[in-house]
Amino acid sequence: MAHPKRKISKQRRDKRRTHYKATASQIAVDPTTGEAHLSHRAHWFEGKLYYRGQVIIDAEEEVVEE
């Protein structure tokens, strides 16, 4: 197994980790419903699936089976 030749100091270790940051999620407001949702994602509101202000799926409609 490989082992480090020298101990990595806390300062050097922490310098390497400075780029790993948590980012806040992007929240958008739907223009039609006013519902807050994640950007570029469809969201459910009152039984309907909305994306960019348009209804994509309406769960209240009956599915006709043949």
Q: For 41-57, write each residue's pLDDT tens digit.
A: 999 999 999 998 899 99
**CB burial readout 47-59, b (16+ within 10 A) else e:** ebebeeeeeeeee
pLDDT at 35: 92
pLDDT at 25: 87
pLDDT at 41: 92
pTM of the prediction?
0.57
For the segment 20-41, the average pLDDT, to the nearest whole number, is 90
**Cα(28)–Cα(11) distance, rounded to whole angstroms?**
39
Helix (H, G, I), strand (E, B) or coil at 30: coil
Using only the alpha carbons of the chain, give its radius of gyration: 24
Average confidence score pLDDT of the chain: 87
